[in-house]
Amino acid sequence: MTSAFAAVIAVTAVAVGVQALVVVRQRWNDPYTSVAPQRVPILGGGEPATHAWSRFHVRYYPMTLVFVAFEMEMMFMYPWAVVYVEEGVKALVEMGMFLTILGVGIVYAYKERVFSWQ
């Protein structure tokens, strides 16, 4: 128990030391630390072209939802591959139903012209 605690403290001390070294080296080598425009957090000191609260066009939202649907599909496909080895046909039928529901959503998105960029 003591050696594990000592290892955690040692790793934390090394991490803090490296971070302090990086900060000190940056302050020492950076000639622009006192220049005000360099403190702006975007584009290396330039003024942003648009406001941070600007809205995106509504056509991007359906495409985003379709992207999330594909991501959810992949998130469930990886563990399913492990379960399929154990469960067999039952897992295959369940994944078929899941993919059918997602497929219906993608067909609906296609009919609503989500994939056309005009």
Mean pLDDT (whole number) for 34-60: 64
Mean pLDDT (whole number) for 72-79: 80
Instruction: Give the best-scoring range by mean pLDDT among 1-5, 58-62, 108-112.
Output: 108-112
Whole-number pLDDT of residue 106: 83
Contact 109, 66 (CB under 8 A): yes
Contact 47, 40 (CB under 8 A): yes
Instruction: Report how far residue 77's alpha carbon sits from residue 91's, in angstroms, rounded to the nearest whole number.
Output: 11
Cα–Cα distances in Å, from 64 out to 68, 87, 107, 109, 110? 6, 33, 15, 11, 14
Mean pLDDT (whole number) for 40-59: 66
Whole-number pLDDT of residue 31: 57
Whole-number pLDDT of residue 62: 77
Mean pLDDT (whole number) for 32-54: 61
pLDDT in tens, 78-108: 888 888 888 888 888 988 898 898 888 888 8
* Maximal C-alpha separation, the chain: 67
Q: Tell me the domain boundaries of the chain.
A: 2-45, 60-111
pTM: 0.43
